[in-house]
Amino acid sequence: MTSEATQKIEEDKQGNPLDLVLDFCAVIGAGILNFFAAVGRLADFTFRSVSHCFRAPFYPSQLMRQLIDIGYYSLPVVGMTALFTGMVLALQSYTGFSRFNAEGAVAGVVVLSITRELSPVLAGLMVAGRVGASIAAEIGTMRVTEQIDALRTLSVNPFKYLIAPRVIAATVTLPILVLIGDVIGVYGGYIVSIYSLGFSPAGYLTQTWDTVTNVDIMSGLWKAGSFGFIVSIMGCYHGFNSARGAQGVGAATTNAVVSSSILILIFNYLITQIFFS
């Protein structure tokens, strides 16, 4: 073997720098293409889901079941979260404001924080964990056990029977849950302020009422509706596209919770920007 040939083999073994750059670009490019393909699939799924919410046939018994599952059974979780959040908020804001003799602002801080941010965001995250996971696991299991195929062979559109009732139920019930959470959260702050921090009940309630406006409550309810939609769509999307086997259903469940939690935080910022910028 000539020395030139040996040298060429050595260069090939080390790798051509240009090839390495091209390989790196290919990996980045494939990642970007995959990302846009996933966004496109999700957008298509969302559009189809929404369109089936408004087109007959409708399945009222399925909708009723989902209203109870998503709304009624989430009430204890959302209620407990709101109660303790309100209580902690009153304690923490009192500790901070007392340094500046501004204890009187506690009621206002509690009601604004609860209605604008904490009640919708925490309710959204709790529902993402409870309902989003449940939707993804249930639909994912139906996918891997061919129940979704069975629906099609029985002339029933799975988007109408499985997805539309869940999307409608989550979008409608989350604002109601958040409204109840607002009341419970404010009441949590009230309990701590009155029984632990020595505020007067009338003064606390008056300050709460004077501080809160319709926009504060409405912004929270808009957020809640959006979060309910996000949680149900992400749960249905990941469940519907679940891979085979227990591992596939597990991954679908995890992806549903993680993606909906991240989207809730992103949309929380965007909606806050729209209402209060």
Partner 1 sequence: MSKKSDTKSDEGEQKIILKQVSKSFGDNHVLNSLDLSVPAGKSLVVIGGSGTGKSVLLKCVLGLMTPDSGSILIDGKESIGVDPKARTEFMKKFGMLFQGGALFDSLKIWENVAFGLIHGQGMDKNQAREIAVEKISAVGLRPEVADLYPAEVSGGMQKRVGLARAVASKPEITFFDEPTTGLDPIMADVINDLIVEQVKGLGATALSITHDMASARKIADHVAMIYEGKIIWKGEVGDLDHSGNEYVDQFIHGRADGPITRRVA
Which range binds partner 1 by CB under 8 A, 2-10, 29-37, 153-161, 217-225?
153-161
Q: Does position 97 bind partner 1 by CB under 8 A?
A: no
For residue 245, give the DSSP letter.
H
Instruction: Find the binder of partner 1 among 3, 155, 214, 277 (CB under 8 A).
Output: 155
Q: Is 152 in the site for partner 1 (CB under 8 A)?
A: yes
Q: How far is the CB of 147 from partner 1 (least distance, A)?
A: 5
Residue (157 or 272) nearer to partner 1, CB: 157
Q: Does 48 bind partner 1 (CB under 8 A)?
A: no
Q: Which residues ranging from 189 to 218 are in contact with partner 1 (CB under 8 A)?
A: none
* Residue range at the interface with partner 1 (CB under 8 A); choices 27-35, 154-162, 165-173, 266-274: 154-162
- To partner 1, the closest distance from the beta carbon of 30 in angstroms equals 15
The 10 Å Cβ neighbour count of residue 102 is 13
User: Residues 239, 143: contact at Cβ < 8 Å?
Assistant: yes
Q: Judged by CB under 8 A, how many residues of this single chain contact partner 1? A: 15
Comparing CB distances to partner 1, the nearer of 8 and 48 is 48
DSSP assignment of 49-118: HHHHHSSS---HHHHHHHIIIIIGGGHHHHHHHHHHHHHHHHHHHHHHHGGGT-GGGHHHHHHHIIIIII
Neighbouring residues of 8: CB distance < 8 A, sequence distance ≥ 6: none
Report the C-alpha gap between 87 and 209 in whole angstroms. Answer: 18
- Of 1, 56, 154, 202, the one binding partner 1 by CB under 8 A: 154
Alpha-carbon distance values, 97 to 89, 93, 100, 192 (Å)? 12, 6, 5, 15
Determine if 156 is a binding residue for partner 1 (CB under 8 A): yes
Would you tell me which residues interact with partner 1 (CB under 8 A)? 57, 59, 142, 145-147, 149-150, 152-157, 161
